[in-house]
Structure 1
Amino acid sequence: MTAALQAQELPRLTWRQRLLRLMPWHKRLALLACLGIFSWAGSGMLHPLMGYLQPRPQTMATPQQVLPLDHLRSPAQVLGAAGVAQVQGLRLLVLAGEPYYQARLAGELQPRYWHARSGQAVELVAAHAESLARHYLGRDEPLAYAGSIERFTGEYAFINRLLPVARVDTQRDDSLRLYVDLFHDRLGTMVDERKAWFSAFFQTMHRFRWLDAAGPLRPVLMLVLLASIVSATLFGVALFIARRRARTFNRRLHGWWGLGLALATLSFASSGAWHLLHKQGAQPWPAPFVPSFNVAELDKAPAADWLLAGEELYMLSLLELDGKPIWRAQGQQFASMSSLHYLDAQGRELGNDTPRRYAQQRLDHYAKSLGLGEAQTLTLQHSFDHEYGFVFKRLPVFKASYADAHNTALFIDPLDGALASRVQDADRTEGWAFAYLHKWEFLAGLGNGYKHLLLGIVALAHVLLALVGLSLLRRGQHR
C-alpha cells in the first residue's frame, strides 16, 4: 500500500521533459552520423565539380565515312577462306579509305578484320581504336592503343554502360585516355588524371567501395550510418522544440542551423537509404541475346545496287531476323536526308515493318526470360525522359510496355538488339524519389550550374554543422 501511494505521488513528466531525455541519444547517434556526413556530404561537394571538370569530346556523333561498295568480295569468300564458319556479328567499315569486314567471333574480346577486296586478314584493332579516338578528340595527335576491357572497373564504371571497349591513351600532360566501342564506333567515356582522382575519391567515400570485399557488410554499414543520420536529425528537432532557449550562443547557433538543414538532411539520407535498399533488391538482368551467323549464307557481296536513289552508306551491319541474317543499312540520301533500310542476305529490300519486327523478336527473347508475356505497346523513343534517363546512354531505343503486376517496360537498342534498360513500378517510384529528393532535380530550371552550386553549398553546410556539433560535444566533456 505504501509503495502504491509513493508511486502515485511521483510527479508526472511533461512533454518537454520527455523530449529532453533524448539528449544523450542525440549525442551518441550524432557521433555515428558524423562519419556518414563527412563521407557523403564531403564527397557530394565534389560531384558538381566532377561534372564541371569532365573532359569533353569534340563531338558525340559517330564517324560518318562513306562506304565504298565497288569490287568487294562476299563475306563467305573472305571469312570462309580464313576458316571462319560462324560469326556473332559482322559489319562493313572503312579505315584510311579502305573497306574492311569486321567480325565478332565467339570467345574473343577483340574484333577481327579482313580487307573486303583482297580478303587479307589485317590486324587493325589498334588502328581502329586510335582512329575513333582522333574522331572524338577532333584533332590529330600521338595516341597509343592500351588494350580492351570486358568488365567495368573503378575508372570505367557501370554508368558508362558499353562493353567491351578499347582504351586509347594520349600523350598529354593530363594523361587523357578514351574508352571506345569498336563494334559500333561509340564513345564510352574520356578520363584524365583529374577525373580519375575525383572518381576514385567519390567511389571510396560516397559509395564505400573500400568495403566491396566485405560483401553484405558494406550495405549494412551504410544503412546503419543513414539510420543514425535520420534519427539524430529527428531527435535534434525534438530537442530544439523542447528547449525554450539554449544556454550559450554556440548551442543556439547549432540548434537553428540544424533546424534549417533538417529537411535537406532527411531528404538526402532517406532517399539515399531507399536507393541503397532498392539496388540490393534488384533482380538480375536476363542473359543477353547472342546471334550466330553461318558465314556460308553470306555469299553476296555488298554492291552499289543495294543503295537507295541518291544514297551514301555510312553503316552496314548484320542482324538476325526470323533466324536468318539481314543487313541494316544506314546513311544519307541526297546529302540532306538520313536513310535507314534493311536488306536480306542477297541484298533484296525488306519491308518497312522490318525494324519493328526485329525489335519485337529481341524483346520476345528478354520477355520470355522474365516471364512477361506479350508486349502491349511498342514505340520508338528518340529522347531521354524520367523513365529512361540519360544514364542508360543509348538512343534511339524501342520501348515495349507489358501488363504484368509490375508494369514492366523494356528498352531495346535497334543497333544491336541489346537490352538497354528494364523499368518497373518500383524503379519509377525510387527513381523519382532519388531524382527529386537526393539530386534535387526540382532545381533544374535554374540550370545545372546554379543547381550544382546550391547543392555544394548545402553539402558544405552539413559538414560545418557536424564540426560545430563535435566542438560542442568536446567542450561538454571537458566541463
Structure 2
Amino acid sequence: MKKIVRKLHRYLGLIFSISILMSSGSGVIHVLMSRTQSAPPAAKPSGALLDTSAITVTPADAFPDAPPAAINIRNIAGKPHYQAFIPGQREFTYIDATNGRKNPDADATYAREIASTFLGTDEIEQTDFLTSFNSEYIGIFRILPVYRFDLADGKGTRVYVSTVTGSVTRHTDDEKQFEASVFTNFHKLGFIPNKDARDWLLTILTGAAFLISILGIVLFFLTRPRKNKKPATGTTRP
C-alpha cells in the first residue's frame, strides 16, 4: 500500500505540477497587478452639461408609433437627445429633442464624445465595435455592446465605451494589457479559445492537484515513524 501511494503521489505530482506552478505564478501576478493596474473607470455619464431648456419635443410626440420600454436623455453634439430602448429592436433609437427628428448617427457620435471627454483629447480613432467578448475585453467587464477608441500616444492607450451607461467601461494600454494577458493565460488558460475545453481542462487540473494533496496526507500517515514497543520487564528463570 505504501509503495502504491508513494508512486501515485510522485508521478501524478510530477505530471500535474505545471498547473500548480501556473496557479501560484498567477497569484504573484495578481498581487503585482493590484499595484500597477488602475481602478475601473467610474460608471457615470460623462460629457457636457445637459441644456434641458432646449427640449421642445415631448417623449409622447417623439415616439407616437413605437412606445419605448425606457428613455434616457443624452447630450449629443450639443443637443439633448432621447435615447430609447424599443422592444424588438437591437439598436437604440435616438430622437433629437429639439426638433423631433431621428438621428441615426447619434450612437457613434455619443460614444466618441464619451471617449474624447475621458481621454481629454479629440485625437482618437474608433478601431472596433464589440457585440461579443474577446481575449482583451473579457466577460468580467459584463457590458456589451461597446465601442473601442485608440489614442496615438505611443503607449497603445485605448478605451472601451458603452452608450448604455454613457461611460468608459475599460481603460488600458499595451503595458497593462500585457500583464492582464499573462494573468489570464496562467490563471484561466486563456490561450485555449474554446470555453468548454478550457473549463474541462481547468477542472481536471484542479481536481488532480486536490488528489495529489490527499495522497500526500495519506502518505504522511503511512510512512510516519513507528514507536518501538519496550520489552516487558520481569524475571526469567535460569
TM range (shorter): 0.7 to 0.9
Match of 1:46 among 17, 29, 37: 29
> Where does residue 130 of structure 1 map in the other structure?
112
Please tell me whether residue 214 in structure 1 is matched to residue 172 in structure 2: no
Are 2:41 and 2:168, in contact at CA under 8 Å, matched by a contact in 1?
Answer: no
CA distance in 2, matches of 1:22, 1:108: 62
CA distance in 1, matches of 2:172, 2:32: 14
Aligned-pair identity in percent equals: 23
CA distance in 2, matches of 1:236, 1:73: 78
1:61-460 pair list within 5 angstroms: 61-63=44-46, 65-80=49-64, 85-106=66-87, 108-122=89-103, 123-137=105-119, 139-209=120-190, 210=192, 212-214=195-197, 217-231=200-214, 233-234=216-217, 237-238=220-221, 242=225
How far off is 1:129 after superposition? 1.0
What residue identity is the alignment partner of 1:32? Answer: I
CA distance in 1, matches of 2:130, 2:95: 22
Q: CA RMSD in A?
A: 3.2
How far off is 1:238 after superposition? 4.8
Relative distance call for 1:120 and 1:142 in structure 2 (3 A) is: same
What residue identity is the alignment partner of 2:18? Answer: L
What residue identity is the alignment partner of 1:133? Answer: A
> Where does residue 230 of structure 2 map in the other structure?
none
Match of 2:19 among 36, 45, 68: 36
Relative distance call for 1:97 and 1:89 in structure 2 (3 A) is: same
Are 1:71 and 1:117, in contact at CA under 8 Å, matched by a contact in 2?
Answer: yes
CA distance in 2, matches of 1:48, 1:216: 24
Q: Deviations over 1:161-187 (max 9, x none)?
A: 223333222223222222222122133
Q: Deviations over 1:403-456 (max 9, x none)?
A: xxxxxxxxxxxxxxxxxxxxxxxxxxxxxxxxxxxxxxxxxxxxxxxxxxxxxx
Relative distance call for 1:242 and 1:41 in structure 2 (3 A) is: farther
CA distance in 1, matches of 2:199, 2:143: 27
1:69 match: secondary structure: helix
2:94 match: secondary structure: strand
Relative distance call for 1:240 and 1:75 in structure 2 (3 A) is: same
CA distance in 2, matches of 1:202, 1:58: 20
Q: Deviations over 1:220-244 (max 9, x none)?
A: 423333224423543575588549x
How far off is 1:142 after superposition? 1.3
CA distance in 2, matches of 1:112, 1:200: 36
Aligned length: 222
CA distance in 1, matches of 2:69, 2:128: 21
> Where does residue 10 of structure 2 map in the other structure?
27
What residue identity is the alignment partner of 2:62? Answer: V
1:45 match: secondary structure: helix
- Which has the higher relative contact order, 1 or 2, with Cα contacts under 8 A spaced 6 or more apart? 2
1:121 match: secondary structure: coil
How far off is 1:43 after superposition? 2.2
Relative distance call for 1:71 and 1:88 in structure 2 (3 A) is: closer
Which ranges of structure 1 fall in alignment gaps of 5 or more residues?
1-17, 244-479
Relative distance call for 1:234 and 1:187 in structure 2 (3 A) is: farther
Which ranges of structure 2 fall in alignment gaps of 5 or more residues?
227-238
**TM-score scaled by length of structure 2:** 0.75
Are 1:26 and 1:235, in contact at CA under 8 Å, matched by a contact in 2?
Answer: no
How far off is 1:61 after superposition? 4.3
Relative distance call for 1:22 and 1:181 in structure 2 (3 A) is: same
CA distance in 2, matches of 1:229, 1:23: 10
**TM-score scaled by length of structure 1:** 0.40
Relative distance call for 1:216 and 1:170 in structure 2 (3 A) is: closer
2:121 match: secondary structure: coil
